[in-house]
């Protein structure tokens, strides 16, 4: 088996789902959101997590779909909070319909996500639901911290890493842990898999931060420099503030307070030049490599066939070397 075969099975299953029929105004936004596509990393991790411990992954498919529905629920609500006009190049749900509809459709997605777990063996279901509930709350905690950071000028790098661990990484860890649980992994193997996923998730987000400044816009799919223009607290900005001279820091802070549409290109160019002078690109890449290696250490500790673990290693490499 290779990764594409698992991905195809997930896509085929997603293509058959309706989520509900009436009222149409409630369910059409859900179908629209789920059809926007994406990398489908999280359900793939659940299925691969199950595959490590048994060739038959049938029992992991619907719970994996539940993870993906939950992830898209968070994106739908994040788009409202960010007032984002586009998601994957198309109008966001609150723009295409309205904010109230996006909130309510998102609520139903969270409910449906739980329903996809109900096929898990009865003796394992309470554990699966408890792990999922804990993870879901942590994702919300991470989002709140991210919003808190918008109004703060004293955010520390460790605080930022904690935030992305909650907002992004724990869901990747849970996705793997869920698959392991479904196919009877030993507790210690499930723990190592979860830690592998969390470290990959942190590396994944740091790669996203890096691409926002140094990516190829045609491949990245979003405007390069968007984080700079929105004054978003990223690993790059916080590292630059920590390492800058008094003059460089003053310059960075000047641009953080500059939001004139006429000076957008100038702002991105000026901030990027400071990053270049401080070697921020290489420092960030080193951090990505650090979390990648830390994750691999945990993967190596999992008691499973190396040929199966190699699929996860390949996926991790794709995530941290991606251009979009």
Q: Which residue has the higher pLDDT, 137 or 38?
A: 137
Q: Is the pLDDT of residue 88 over 90?
A: no
Q: pLDDT over 70 for what percent of the chain?
A: 98
Residue with tokens 């909650």: 166
**Mean per-residue pLDDT, 41-57:** 98
Q: What is the C-alpha separation between 121 and 128, in angstroms, rounded?
A: 10
Torsion of CA 156, 162, 167, 171, to 10 degrees: 160
* Confidence bin at 182 (pLDDT 50/70/90): very high
Tokens of 145: 């911290």
Residues 6+ apart with CB under 8 A from 253: 153
Residues 6+ apart with CB under 8 A from 37: 88
Whether a cis peptide bond, with omega within 30° of 0, leads into 66 is no
Residue with tokens 């509930």: 133
Tokens of 165: 């661990």
Instruction: Find, among 95, 100, 98, 105, the residue nearest to 24 by Cα.
Output: 105
Per the CB < 8 A criterion, the answer to whether 217 and 234 are in contact is no
Residue with tokens 């460790």: 158
Total count of residues recorded for the chain: 324
Q: What is the C-alpha separation between 76 and 171, in angstroms, rounded?
A: 16
User: Which pLDDT tens digit goes with each residue over 183-206?
Assistant: 999 999 999 999 999 999 999 999
Domain architecture of the chain: domains with CATH: 3-321 (1.10.600.10)
Tokens of 91: 């109008």
* Confidence bin at 222 (pLDDT 50/70/90): low
Q: What is the CA radius of gyration of the chain?
A: 20
Torsions phi, psi for 17 (to 5 deg): -85, 145
C-alpha pair distances (Å), 17 with each of 33, 100, 108 = 12, 23, 14
Q: What is the C-alpha separation between 91 and 194, in angstroms, rounded?
A: 34
For residue 258, give the 3-state DSSP assignment.
coil
Q: What is the C-alpha separation between 197 and 73, in angstroms, rounded?
A: 20
Q: What is the C-alpha separation between 228 and 209, in angstroms, rounded?
A: 10
Overall pTM surpassing 0.75 (yes/no): yes
Angle between helices 99-115 and 24-34 (to 10 degrees): 70
What one-character DSSP code corresponds to residue 168? I
User: Which pLDDT tens digit goes with each residue over 105-161?
Assistant: 999 999 999 999 999 999 999 999 999 999 999 999 999 999 999 989 999 999 999
Tokens of 284: 């960030």
């Amino acid at each position: 088996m290779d990764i594409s075969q698992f991905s195809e099975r997930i896509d085929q299953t997603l293509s058959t789902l309706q989520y509900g029929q009436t009222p149409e105004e409630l369910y059409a936004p859900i179908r629209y959101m789920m059809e926007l596509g994406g990398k489908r990393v999280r359900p793939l991790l659940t299925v691969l997590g199950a595959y490590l411990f048994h060739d038959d992954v049938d029992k992991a498919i619907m719970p994996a779909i539940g993870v993906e529905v939950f992830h898209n629920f968070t994106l739908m609500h994040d788009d409202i909070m960010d007032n984002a006009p586009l998601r994957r190049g198309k109008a966001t749900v609150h723009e295409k319909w309205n904010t109230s509809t996006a909130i309510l459709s998102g609520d139903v997605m969270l409910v449906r996500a739980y329903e996809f777990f109900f096929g898990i063996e009865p003796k394992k279901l309470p554990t699966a639901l408890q792990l999922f509930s804990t993870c879901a709350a942590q994702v919300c905690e991470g989002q709140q911290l991210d919003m808190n950071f918008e109004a703060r000028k004293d955010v520390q790098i460790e605080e930022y890493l904690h935030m992305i661990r909650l907002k992004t990484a724990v869901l990747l860890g849970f996705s793997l842990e869920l698959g392991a649980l479904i196919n009877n992994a030993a507790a210690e193997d499930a723990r190592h898999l979860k830690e592998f996923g969390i470290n990959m998730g942190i590396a994944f987000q740091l790669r996203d931060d890096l691409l926002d400044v140094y990516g190829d816009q045609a491949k990245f799919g979003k405007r390069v420099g968007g984080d700079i223009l929105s004054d978003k607290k990223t690993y790059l900005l916080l590292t630059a503030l920590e390492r800058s001279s008094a003059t460089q820091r003053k310059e960075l802070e000047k641009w953080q307070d500059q939001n004139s549409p006429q000076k957008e290109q100038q702002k991105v160019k000026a901030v990027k030049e400071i990053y270049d002078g401080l070697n921020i690109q290489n420092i960030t890449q080193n951090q990505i490599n650090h979390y990648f290696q830390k994750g691999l250490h945990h993967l190596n500790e999992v008691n499973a066939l190396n040929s199966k673990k190699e699929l996860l290693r390949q996926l991790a490499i794709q995530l941290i070397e991606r251009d979009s």
